[in-house]
Amino acid sequence: MTTIEDLQTPALLVDQAALQRNLDTMAAALPGARLRPHVKAHKTTALARRQSDMGHTSFTCATIREVEGMAAAGLGADLLLANEVLDMTRLGRVVEAGARVTAAVDSPETVEAAAAGGVREVLVDVNVGLPRCGCAVGDAGRLADLARSRGLDVRGVMGYEGHVMLVPDVEDRRKQTEDCMARLLAAHADVGGDIVSAGGTGTYAVNAWANEIQAGSYALMDTAYGAVSDLPFEQALFVLGTVISRTPPADGIPGWAIVDVGLKSLGMDHGNPSVPKGAVWFCSDEHVTWQPDDFDSVRLGDRIRVVPAHVDPTIALHERMWLVDGDEVVDEFAVDLRGW
């Protein structure tokens, strides 16, 4: 039997039971095609296959690499690249090989890139309030007309209310989501098509306007989403570390310990990770410095589960994840969609 004591740290752990409960909870809320899981959150075709087996056979991708990997794994029935790219020749090759690929477009240049690259289907990406990609509402219809004139099938619209995902109050989050979706539906009236695609883990339960939701983080979770109290999903992802140094209390300074998990194994854009029963002071390249609640109980060699603040970039720093039942390792998933 392999246990977490046999793993070299830092190592990415997934609580198998918590993962399954998260998948079950979301599948009950958004069955089948109502959910288009976003694979950027886990970058793992083995986990995507579990989502597919639960009836979610269309997927959202953030990179061409993710599209290629999903298609190669036999999960290419309906892939959306929900990101603008200006060279779609690699996507065209995926289409030629038999996968269905839809690309987001928000400009004449991205429409031309789709036509030139061999992509046959697009969604018009609309800016619904997040200052990132997406065209103005008033431009959406003209882009759709241009796409159709270039021989492309316009399947509908997409928009991402990412700035609303972590709003603490659920009613405020619902109202802001409604405002965002009013923009998207106005664009859809001009664009046409069957799809209104939006949403994420933070708004999946309050977005009643999109007919498919692009949630991804719900499967594994992180402390940023964990702080949104009404979300029913559990923390399933941890970075396993080893206590490699400890400094006892002295001269009124509390004791601290060092875990071999640092910036090279954690996504830090949402802040410091958490360590159960302790307070994280700071992170450096290879280390988390933390103050245990009970310093005397911490020993060199102890295995510590560090909880990341942002799941997506954390997983991108690892080559594999280990599924565990308690301390027993029960499976291994390659993080095979990472990289470019």
Burial group, residue 96, by CB count within 10 angstroms (0-12, 13-18, 19+):
exposed
203 and 248 in a common domain: no
Question: What percentage of the chain exceeds 90 in pLDDT?
Answer: 99
270 and 305 in a common domain: yes
**Do 42 and 86 touch, CB atoms closer than 8 A?**
no
pLDDT-derived band at 106, boundaries 50, 70, 90: very high
Predicted pLDDT of residue 254:
93
> What is the DSSP code (8-state) at residue 337?
T
Q: Report which of 212, 213, 130, 206 is spatially closest to residue 174, judged by C-alpha positions.
A: 206
176 and 43 in a common domain: yes
Task: Identify whether 138 is part of a domain.
Answer: yes
163 and 96 in a common domain: yes
Task: Identify whether 340 is part of a domain.
Answer: no
- Report residue 12 as tokens: 């990415």
Write the CB contacts of 41 (distance below 8 Å, at least 6 apart in sequence).
Answer: 216, 217, 219, 220, 311, 312, 315
pLDDT-derived band at 340, boundaries 50, 70, 90: confident
pLDDT-derived band at 65, boundaries 50, 70, 90: very high
Predicted pLDDT of residue 278:
96
Number of domains making up the chain: 2
What's the rounded Cα separation, in Å, for the pair 213 and 134?
17
What's the rounded Cα separation, in Å, for the pair 83 and 25?
27
Predicted pLDDT of residue 257:
98
Last residue of a domain, one of 218, 252, 281: 218
Task: Identify whether 318 is part of a domain.
Answer: yes
127 and 260 in a common domain: no
The helix or strand, by DSSP H or E, that contains position 65, with its residue range, turns out to be helix 64-72
Query: What is the mean pLDDT of the segment spanning 45-57?
Result: 98
Q: How far apart are the first and last CA of the chain?
A: 35
Last residue of a domain, one of 157, 189, 218: 218
How many CA atoms lie less than 13 Å away from 280 in the CB half-sphere? 21
pLDDT-derived band at 187, boundaries 50, 70, 90: very high
164 and 35 in a common domain: yes
pLDDT-derived band at 99, boundaries 50, 70, 90: very high
Length of the chain: 340
- Report residue 13 as tokens: 């752990």
319 and 201 in a common domain: no
> What is the DSSP code (8-state) at residue 46?
H
**Do 219 and 51 touch, CB atoms closer than 8 A?**
yes
Query: What is the mean pLDDT of the segment spanning 289-314?
Result: 97
Task: Identify whether 169 is part of a domain.
Answer: yes
Q: Report which of 56, 60, 70 is spatially closest to residue 104, judged by C-alpha positions.
A: 60
**Do 38 and 216 touch, CB atoms closer than 8 A?**
yes
306 and 208 in a common domain: no
Query: What is the mean pLDDT of the segment spanning 95-107?
Result: 98
Helix (H, G, I), strand (E, B) or coil at 218: helix
CATH of the domain at 303: 2.40.37.20
43 and 189 in a common domain: yes
Rounded to 5 degrees, φ, ψ at 10 are: -75, 145
283 and 175 in a common domain: no
What is the domain extent for residue 319? 4-11+233-334
Task: Identify whether 227 is part of a domain.
Answer: no
Last residue of a domain, one of 218, 250, 274: 218
275 and 150 in a common domain: no
pTM for the model? 0.96
Q: Which residue has the tokens 């309050």?
A: 206
Task: Identify whether 225 is part of a domain.
Answer: no
CATH of the domain at 107: 3.20.20.10
> What is the DSSP code (8-state) at residue 253?
B
Task: Identify whether 224 is part of a domain.
Answer: no
Predicted pLDDT of residue 51:
98
Query: What is the mean pLDDT of the segment spanning 216-231?
Result: 97
Residue 89 has pLDDT above 90, yes or no: yes
Examine residue 10 and say whether the peptide bond preceding it is cis (omega within 30 degrees of 0). yes
99 and 75 in a common domain: yes
Predicted pLDDT of residue 142:
98
Task: Identify whether 260 is part of a domain.
Answer: yes
